[in-house]
Structure 1
Amino acid sequence: MNTPEIRLELHRIIDQINDSRLLEAVYTLLSSQDGQVKSISKEMMDSMLEASEADIKAGRLTDHQSLKEEIQSWRKK
């Protein structure tokens, strides 16, 4: 995938996110793109942890091997 394609795909993925906590987490990750780690408020961290715990309880997990296979499939595209 080239840079414009990646941008388009990221826009598509972000547009489909309905969970505000997940959007906040994505925002935090992307807003630190300048290479500097920005501080995260306690509320933001708590929100991210709650979202992670909810994912764990709901079984939305990926094991190491599955993740490696998924990454390999990206490289083949």
Structure 2
Amino acid sequence: MKLKNIEELIDNEGEITIGRIGPVRCGASASDEANCLAMLARRPGESFEALLIRLDSAIEDAIEHDIFADEINP
């Protein structure tokens, strides 16, 4: 599994968080120095690997297309 966007984000002083996020029992978030790029809720039956793949894709959408995913906040 190659997660190039997660790796690049971390290499450039960004961060990811995996675990409880507010009311969501398991989620993943990614941010750089200025923006929250993505906040994803783990879907029922979704594997941990699938969550990381979605996070990697969401980071790319945020950086390349200014599309910021937020599945945590209504």
- Fold shared, TM-score > 0.5 on shorter chain: no
Q: What is the TM-score when the length of structure 1 is the normalising length?
A: 0.29
TM-score, with structure 2 as normaliser: 0.30
More strand by share: 2
Task: Name the structure where helix makes up a greater proportion of residues.
Answer: 1
Larger radius of gyration: 1
